[in-house]
Amino acid sequence: MPTPAKGPRLGGGAAHERLMLANLSAALFEHKRITTTVTKAKRLKPYAERLVTFAKRGDLASRRRVLGLISNKGIVHELFTDIAQAVENRDGGYTRITKIGNRKGDNAPMAVIELVLEPVSAKQAVVAEATKAAAKAAPVAEEAPVVETEAAETEAAEAKYAGSKPATADNVAPEGFEVKGNEDSMKYHVPGSRWYDATVAEVWFDSAESAAAAGFVPAGGDAAQAVEAE
């Protein structure tokens, strides 16, 4: 039996693993979030996101390719209509993994994997609208729309999320932006919390509300962050 390229197989063989990933993807698309082991969640993430990419293409060939993996036509229809439409402005990162501790009994590490269906941040939406407006107005006035578009793109580069500022090399909080965000785990840390000093900020937020609106969750839960913040 050939050695798998990315660690041990989930099932007894390659065919069994493909069936498991297809079934997990079908459950994810149907329920929008599922609880499974961390190992399965990590293997499912690229598999499911590839199917979402096919759904965003929306052509007949892509639909037939997905139907070859997921036989439930209702789930495939929902993937190509509702889910694809919800993530049409998102350039990847269609799923999110959140670890939830170990399972009772065998102590297996568990995680929740869910579809990221929240709208793109308001600032990115403004940039998209400005770009479309500039393209339409280009024949009438060429210079002014270009300046507005460049300014909007520069603003988007400086702040990826609403109410945020990009990380700095010295990990020093910008004035008025003290909440640390970690894009790998999609968690945020308020000043004074348990892991605040040990966390290197990948993005700074002006408040916990802004971090939550961007899709970040409090490290340790709302209660833990609230207690530590007081």
Residue 101 in 3-state DSSP? strand
How far is 205 from 166, CA to CA, in rounded Å? 9
How far is 183 from 200, CA to CA, in rounded Å? 11
Instruction: Confirm whether pTM is higher than 0.85.
Output: no
Contact indicator for 27, 39 with CB cutoff of 8 Å: no
Give Cβ neighbours of residue 192 (< 8 Å, ≥ 6 apart).
Answer: 228, 229
Q: What is the pLDDT along the chain (230 residues), one digit of tens a residue?
A: 566 666 677 777 888 999 999 999 999 999 999 999 999 999 999 999 999 999 999 999 999 999 999 999 999 999 999 999 999 888 889 999 999 999 998 999 999 999 999 887 766 667 767 777 887 776 654 554 545 555 555 454 456 677 788 877 777 888 888 888 887 778 888 888 877 777 888 888 888 888 888 788 887 776 666 654 44
Helical (H) or strand (E) element with 165: strand 164-166
| Other beta carbons within 10 Å of 172 | 10
Quick one: tokens of 93? 């990162």
